[in-house]
Structure 1
Amino acid sequence: MYGSTVQLIVTFVWWISIASAQLVSVPLLKVEHNRQPELLSCISCIDNGGLVERQAEVDQNGSDVSYYVDIELGTSTTKKYSVVVDTGSYDLWVYSSSCTNISCISHQQYGPNDSPTLQILSNQTFLIAYGQGPVSGVVGTDFVSFAGYNVSMTFGLAENVADAFNAFPIDGTLGLAASDIQLNTYPSFLSTLTADGLISRSVFSIDLGKAGDPKPGTIVFGGVDTSRFSGDIEFADVVNVRGLWVIGLDDCYVNDKAENFKGKLAMIDTGTTLILMPPADALQVHRDLVDDSSLVITDGRNYVIPCNTSTRLEFSFSGVKWPMSPSDYVGRPYDDQGNCVSNIQGTAINGTATWLLGASYLKSVYTVFDRDQMKVGFAARGFGGVDVYSDASSTSSASPSTMSVKPTSIVSSPVYSATATELPVSVSDGKSL
């Protein structure tokens, strides 16, 4: 997860009760925030001696956007906890009431006084190492409520939190990784929903939404929402064995020109705002994105591009190209000369082979995360899409129900940005500063 002072509060709504497992749709909210340079990337997720590598580093300034849902905890509290939807991490965690540092007390906290049903597990702890410091604490079991459901599950209660988290209005994270490989003895949020029969498939799908959309984004557990996409869902196999949503990347195209990248992988991460590429790859892409390929403005990591660019950018997976609108890869204004900061950053997250596609890209498509078949699917945003999980088109014996989803009246206008507060030099031929 990389990244969330305005906070929007919306409750979970809209479900149809049926006798068997059902498809659950939850509105996905956006929050804009200003913060100091931070790093919210899970460099290593450590639990009980097990280490899961997730090497990345992103510094972001100014306005940023995080996508979150509201949950309720326990049996005697009506407090809502805003947790970032993060496909790049594993745990559900919130701030513990026993934590007294500034990062904890500035957020909603949770503890035994909030719920008589909370049980702290004496032999269990958790630790997640983020770029600007760790989050660690104890593990407890209690009820988690959302969309009308109330499930008992185990989650983290953060007792030690880096001061950097004070700048974020989020109350925790909702990890939705590809598998429960954090070596905990307790199942993840998605595994709990599946085991309890609340969803018939270990599948969820996301439409992050865009600024100006008449309705907010949504996350659907158990299947897909055909009112959010058009046509077919095109799937790519998950190739990472460490539990992250990593798929093969065929290539990247700029104005239909193939960049001829070979052997690349793409991590699909809703908890990150930016698109991250190894520095050499980012330089190559930006040479073609700007009008004059011989002149690239960069500090070696961040790039400046024309705010009014109409250059077509596409990513290809399993032989299918998916376009990205210029409005999604153009970030905040850089100067008064019509230049903006690019939402594509030159940052290596795992050598030279792996890219990370965050929200800047994912809001251009409808995305399906299928744990049962270990695939990631993309579809064009729209209406009337083909439901591969319906009885008519799926080989699965269990099928989700249909749901009525109503739009919320609260819509925020996101501003996407990358760090480029100091980019004073024009660098010819892409030489680093």
Structure 2
Amino acid sequence: MWSFNFVLLALFALFQFSIAFYPFVPEWRRQSYKSLPDTSERSGKSRENNVVLKLFQTLPSTNKPRDVQIRELTDRLIRKYNPGTGLKATKVEERGSNLVKYDDTSLSIQTAATPSQTNSAGILQTGTDFSYFAQVELGSKNDPLLMLLDTGAGTSWVMGPDCTSSACKTRASFGAADSSTYKAVNMDLDIAYGSGHVTGTYATDTINFAGMSLPLTLGIANKTSDQFNSFPFSGILGLSQQTGPVPNFLQTVVSSKSLKANVFGMDLNRASDGTNTGEINFGAPDTSRYSGDLSYTSVAKNGPNHWALPLDKVGVGNTQLSTTGRLGYLDSGTSYIFGQPTDVIAFHALVPDAVTTDNNTWTVPCSTTTSISFTFSGVSYDVSSVDWVGPSVDGVCTSNVYAVAVVDTNSWLIGDTFFKNVYALFDVDQDRVGLAQKKAVTSSATSTSSSGGLTSTLTPTPTAQEPVDRTSTSIVDSTSVVLSGSGSTVTTSASEFLSNTHSLVSAVQTGTLNPLLPGASASPSAQSPGTTVSASSSVTATATQTSSGNQINKYSSLMTAFVIIATTLFF
């Protein structure tokens, strides 16, 4: 009897492992990306006058499944927004972690139109819409380096010449030998990104870009983790107001009195729009970039030093989801959108034929053309399906809105998926952000809704999350799972083992790690325009299915039946 029970336990454990790594990772999530160039020489000519700030978009070099990339990215972001928690995250391959020594001629770069406004620069890209980079010049020799423009980070840093990590061997560096004006600062640099760290010291030197020449104290990394092997940038230029041991970039700009107004505006161009007209503006907005007037929202008092705004609503087509009390962190260093889990579950319930197997990631029909929207200070901003619906892989597309509590359990992290649809002006002087819908651009897909037509409201009930030990290999979750099919409901109370290699977690202020799957979630069905939908708290985690497309993997259903039988025999 003991041996029989042991076999059942082994089979049960194997089933949970397969759920994590095969049934829940279908082929449509897999993408093959071009490898980024790995050259040993830097290029670029110094400029005598104003520096042109070039922004590049690149995709990480990896063949990992999309959901694995998202999970690993999430770990990095959790550490980014919770630097003081001392939490141990899983090993990740982080977005925005890798800097490559870079030869411009080895990449196909979309040339940007020359900006007509002063203190502005064209935004260049490699055609992937993944990340945006600035080409800056450092030191007395105006050494050109690529730096990620990150409105979610305060500290700026570049790789130093003494860095012996594998990533540093193939990326541009900057140090004392590169500049006669380089001044070392006796202070340690230590920044956590997911499971890895960037460590080193600080130095002060001149940074030149967008017509400004500033003395900046920035980190000089002497060690990076292996996660920094997939991206071709040499550091991060922090554009948030987050403070640290040294003045950040925005504080340096303010002190220099270089601008009439301490603001910067960003217009991120998507590759599919054709001619690249993206640009960044310092000192004043480029009013030709957007329709109507900028609508300003003050930075939330409970989101200090970040560009965090009170988020009123999120919407799908003509239906909106009330998110009163939530914060939306605007982060140009993040490619996608990561939302409060309960909100995102309700959000995808409004998307016809949206399918999820884990309540973290959803697939949607590739034919989807409905826009989604985000509302700040009563003004809604549409996000085109070109951006929130991922590319087709074997005829299946992934939603770029993920149910992951990256910052905390009450906030959304809003990245480039949103930015490509708006002009955003970050106002340091008045601690606010101005937003406006970008002027219409011809693209491969057209939105079918407008922000003005959003009338109905759906209000989810926030749910509590049970703490989970991040170091454990499995956790028994006795929550019932209700699968609502076309005309029938199946309930199973089989315990679920949640491996730490597949369960995403969120960091909260207390330092406790919680499951990202809410213990209670609402799953309203998609509604027609003009109707009012309400979501109530439930003790079940629910996945809504339709006969036309929302079907749980057949293999998973068979294995679920096996587990029910096995556990019945065992117990």
Report the TM-score when normalising by structure 2. 0.59
Identity in percent: 32
**In structure 2, which of residues 324, 331, 334 is the aligned counterpart of residue 272 of structure 1?**
334
- Are 1:297 and 2:356 an aligned pair? yes
Q: CA deviation at 1:64?
A: 6.7
Supply the RMSD in Å over aligned alpha carbons.
Answer: 3.3
Matches within 5 A, 1:192-341: 192-211=252-271, 212-239=273-300, 240-289=302-351, 291-292=352-353, 296-336=355-395, 339-341=396-398
C-alpha displacement at 1:300, in angstroms? 2.9
Q: Could you tell me how far 1:157 is from its partner in structure 2? A: 0.5
Task: Identify if the C-alpha distance between structure 1 residues 349 and 99 changes in structure 2 by more than 3 Å, giving closer, same or farther.
Answer: same
Instruction: Within 5 Å, give how 1:59-208 maps onto structure 2.
Output: 65-76=130-141, 78-122=142-186, 124-177=187-240, 179-182=241-244, 184=245, 186-208=246-268
**Aligned partner of 2:35: which letter?**
T
Which amino acid in structure 1 is aligned with residue 381 of structure 2? W
SS in 1 for 2:360: coil
Task: Provide, for residues 182-206 of structure 1, a one-character-per-residue CA deviation record: whole Å limited to 9, x for no partner.
Answer: 2x1x322222222222212221110
Maintained 8 Å contact 1:27/1:219: no
Aligned to 2:476: none
Matches of 1:326 and 1:217 in 2, distance apart? 19
Provide the rounded CA distance (Å) in 1 between the counterparts of 2:239 and 2:376: 21
Judging by fraction of residues, say which structure has more helix: 2
Amino acid across the alignment from 1:135: V
Any conservation in 1 of the 2:44–2:144 contact (CA below 8 Å)?
no
Alignment correspondent of 1:414:
none
Structure of greater Rg: 2
Letter in 2 for 1:70: Q
Question: How far does residue 299 in structure 1 lie from its aligned partner after superposition?
Answer: 3.0
SS of 1:173 mapped into structure 2:
strand
User: What TM-score do the two structures reach when normalised by structure 1?
Assistant: 0.76
Which structure exhibits the higher relative contact order, with contacts defined as CA atoms closer than 8 Å and separated by 6 or more residues?
A: 1
Looking at secondary structure, tell me which structure has more strand per residue: 1
Counterparts of 1:85 and 1:54, CA distance in 2:
26
1:149 deviation in Å? 3.6
Deviation at 1:227, TM superposition (A): 2.3
Q: Distance in 1 between matches of 2:46 and 2:270?
A: 20
> How much has 1:216 moved relative to structure 2?
4.0
SS at match of 2:417: helix
Residue 65 of structure 1 aligns to a residue whose secondary structure is coil
Distance 1:351 1:75, change over 3 A: closer
Match in the other structure for 1:32:
59
* C-alpha spacing 1:86/1:248, structure 2 compared with 1 (3 Å): same
- Give the C-alpha shift of residue 6 in structure 1: 4.1
Shift of 1:304: 0.5
Question: Within 2, Cα distance between the matches of 1:276 and 1:252?
Answer: 12
What is the CA–CA distance in structure 1 between the aligned matches of 2:318 and 2:290, rounded to whole Å? 24
- Residue in 1 aligned with 2:11? none
Structure 1 unpaired stretches of 5+:
17-23, 384-419, 421-426
Maintained 8 Å contact 2:143/2:178: no
Question: How far is 1:219 from its partner?
Answer: 1.4
Offset from partner CA, 1:302-337 (integer Å, 9 cap, x none): 11011110223111110111111111101122433x
Whether the 8 Å CA contact 2:36–2:61 is kept in 1: the answer is no
> Could you tell me which residue of structure 2 aligns to residue 5 of structure 1?
35
Counterpart in the other structure of 1:21:
none
Q: What's the CA shift string for 1:138-177, capped at 9, x where partnerless?
A: 0001111223443222110011211101111111101011
Paired residues in the alignment total 367
AA paired with 1:299?
D
Q: Secondary structure at the match of 2:324?
A: coil
> Is 2:46–2:144's contact at 8 Å kept on the other side of the alignment?
no
In the alignment, structure 2 segments of 5+ residues that lack a partner are 1-33, 96-127, 441-501, 503-541, 546-551, 557-571
